[in-house]
Chain A
Amino acid sequence: MLFRIAEKTELKALFDMLAEKNTVVGPVQTDTDRKGKPLFAFEQITDQGKLRLDYTTTRLLAKRYFLPFREDLATFTVNGGDWTKDIDYHIDRPYVFFGLHACDINALNKLDKVLMGNVYPMPYYVAKRMNMFIIGIDCRPQPFCFCRSMGADTVLHGFDLFLTDIGDKYFIEVLSAGAYGIIKDLRTETPKESDHLQYMRTVAEKNKLFTARVDTTDLTKILDMEFQSPVWKQWGDKCLGCGTCANVCPTCYCYGVEETVDVGLQKARKTKSLYSCNIVDFAEVAGGHNFRPERSSRLKYRYYHKHRGFVEAYEESLCVGCGRCGEACLAGITVPEVIASVRGEEQ
């Protein structure tokens, strides 16, 4: 790993250099909530002034740029008795992601394992993922952040550059050859020992700010033991079954596929839509049988996939602790509370 130090004013030079030839996506303020707090989202930006690197976790995800909510996997054109098939991976240019938090980069790394790292990679995802340049940015933990419990508060790979604000300068990790090619045109310096110390102090201070936590000790075993726990029913009674938790989750990738014919009968399409395991018909199969008709069982299996099944398959959780699901859940169901209740801990 190569480390560099840059004055904060160099950020604009970096942005302009990247924005000149690429589409840049970054955090911007898109709304203000009822309490006057800013709400952020990832949008395409051309003006560095709009970039809000001090953003708190976005409600919605950068996920739509590589796993869109809806995507045509194929379109078909009917010509008489014949037809032609068109496949489009829906990426016409590389994207620069300017300012992803560690949790969201870790989420991409987890998605990579599922969608790129197996026998049948998903080309729609791979094409987008391979055409990304990612600049990470450090963050201030929010009351709902439990990434540190999930080992996702720092990120080791899956990005090109990572910036840490150490006061009047950025501490820069340079991870890729592409990033090196860019950084060499900026005014940067080799960090001195005092910069190392400042970096370590910054990280140590950040670590003190975490308030939410999840105890993952023996969690796969405990989930096995507590499969019949009454807490699942309690959470199920609260759950709206609205699917919002999955829709705001940076690692949820489950989907359904629908084939439709346009009203003119000249075109047909196969459309993939992200779905949620909390929706009533998620486990409904041909013939109408529903394996999980109760909200409690659907909610339970959501937790079993994230915190048990995936851990057994990949030796890591499918949760990065970004806390979005709990923040977006109108019923106030949060991962730290659910896990604590399964462990028999009072909240």
Chain B
Amino acid sequence: MNAKTPITRTYLGIPVPRPKVAFFELSSCEGCQLQLVNNEATLLDFLSLVDVRTFREAMTEKLDDYAIAFVEGSVTRADEVDRLKKIRGTAAVLVAFGSCACFGGVNQLKNRFKDPAWVKKEVYGSHPIETNDTARPLEDFVKVDLQIFGCPVKKEEVEKIVTNVVLGKSIVQPKYPVCMECKANENTCLFDLGEPCLGPITRGGCDSWCPNSRFGCWGCRGPTVDANVEQMREIMNKYGFSEETMLDRLECFGGFAGHAAEMRKTVRRGGPAWPPE
């Protein structure tokens, strides 16, 4: 990881470029970056593929000459806008890294508070801090070149993307929903087990991470290209889940914010209770 020592990797005898990359976090749990650091089995391979200039979670050195910036987190404070714009000014490629950066993530739940002032008082009490009333994705402030979805990101997917970048291959992200990988993993359908799941409308690529553990999908990767949200709503209803159960999930990570807002307009009250009897 020593940035001063050049490592020249080759593929089929041809030297491959070693792009200078940096990792940053705005408002987030830093869990997406942790995914990479945690990946001991391939960490050294990953680090020799790129020249890491800044990665606060993993190293002390901080250098600000980088070509690719991976930015985790959503924008929730005014100073973060300035930081983000500075990063954008340096990086040739800016990657929204994880669902907070792509959609606002869990943070954007606060966008629906009716009285943000009361919430701030309740949380911070006599130690007020300056925060915006909304948590926003990066693309609301700067141009984003690539989104890597997930809460957290799937490290195998990040490695694949970075490998393809280094080799000059195109980056292809799945357009199929979570159900495809869930079926390939031979899971019992969560609906058969009486659990709600957004798998049919959520972008895949996570290897059905949650359903593999019998935990219904909450849509962290946002809607699939052709998401049939209206039909999903009918199905949730048919299986006895309330409209709020579906809205909770649609609103959780921000990828479905538009769909959720649309659904709120026609929400059917007094639906079946959760858990169903």
A279-B175 in contact given A243-B180, A248-B183, A263-B45 (Cβ < 8 Å): yes
Query: Chain B CB within 10 Å — which of A39, A60, A69, A242 has the most?
Result: A242
Instruction: Offer 23 A-B interface pairs, CB within 8 angstroms, sorted by A.
Output: A39-B192, A78-B12, A237-B231, A238-B231, A239-B231, A240-B235, A241-B177, A241-B224, A242-B200, A243-B179, A244-B179, A244-B183, A248-B183, A258-B172, A261-B164, A261-B167, A263-B42, A263-B159, A264-B45, A265-B10, A265-B49, A280-B224, A281-B175
Contact string, A267-281, partner B, CB cutoff 8 A, digits 1/0?
A: 000000111100111
Q: Which residues of B contact A83 (CB under 8 A)?
A: 12
From the candidates B13, B49, B188, B228, name the one contacting A240 in the complex (CB within 8 A): B228
Contacts of B57 in A (CB 8 A): none
Q: Does B141 contact A (CB under 8 A)?
A: no
| A-contact bits for B3-16, CB 8 A (1 contact / 0 none) | 00000011111101
Instruction: Select from chain A the residue with minimum beta-carbon distance to B183.
Output: A247
Determine if B184 and A279 form an interchain contact, defined as CB atoms under 8 angstroms apart: no
Task: Tell me whether B201 is interfacial, beta carbon within 8 Å.
Answer: yes
* Of listed A60, A69, A238, A279, residue having the most chain B CB within 10 A: A279
A330 touches B235 (CB 8 A): yes
Tell me the complex Cα distance, A24–B167, Å: 44
A189 in the interface (beta carbon within 8 A):
no
- Whether A276 pairs with B180 at a CB distance below 8 angstroms is yes
Pairwise interchain contact A280-B226, C-beta atoms closer than 8 A: yes
Contact with B along A35-51 (1 / 0, CB 8 A): 00001010000000000
Please provide the chain B residues from 155 to 176 with a CB less than 8 Å away from any CB of chain A in the complex. 159-160, 162-164, 167, 169, 172, 175-176
Chain B residue with Cβ nearest A237: B231
Residues of A within 8 A of B (CB): 30-31, 33-34, 39, 41, 59-60, 64, 69-70, 78, 80-83, 237-244, 247-248, 258, 260-265, 273-276, 279-281, 295, 328, 330-332
Looking at chain A's contact residues, the main secondary structure is loop
Smallest beta-carbon distance B256→chain A, Å: 15
* B73 contacts chain A at the CB level, 8 A cutoff: no
Contact between B184 and A274 (Cβ–Cβ < 8 Å)? yes
Q: Is there contact, CB below 8 Å, between A263 and B225?
A: no
Closest 6 CB pairs between A and B?
A: A81-B13, A34-B194, A247-B183, A69-B184, A280-B226, A242-B179
Shortest CB distance A36–B (Å)? 11
Residues of B within 8 A of A281 (CB): 175-176, 225
Tell me if B184 and A59 are in contact (CB < 8 A).
no
In the docked arrangement, what's the CA distance between A277 and B157, Å? 24
B150: CB under 8 A from chain A? no
A245 to B265, CA, bound (A): 32
- What is the distance, in angstroms, from A83's C-beta to the closest C-beta of chain B? 7
Contacts of B164 in A (CB 8 A): 261
Return chain A residues, CB-CB under 8 Å to B225.
Answer: 280-281
Q: Residue on B with the closest CB to A34?
A: B194
Given known contacts A41-B186, A242-B199, A261-B167, is B176 in contact with A279 (CB within 8 Å)?
yes
A331 to B192, Cβ gap below 8 A? no
Contacts of B46 in A (CB 8 A): 263
- In the complex the two chains form, is A247's CB within 8 Å of B16's CB? no
Contact status A31-B188, CB under 8 Å: yes
B117 at the interface (CB under 8 A from A): no
Q: Are B11 and A78 in contact (CB under 8 A)?
A: yes
Chain A positions within 8 Å of B175 at CB level: 279-281
Give Cα distance in the complex from A263 to B156, angstroms.
9
Nearest-CB residue, chain B, relative to A39: B188
A89 to B99, CA, bound (A): 39
Q: Which residues of B contact A64 (CB under 8 A)?
A: 186
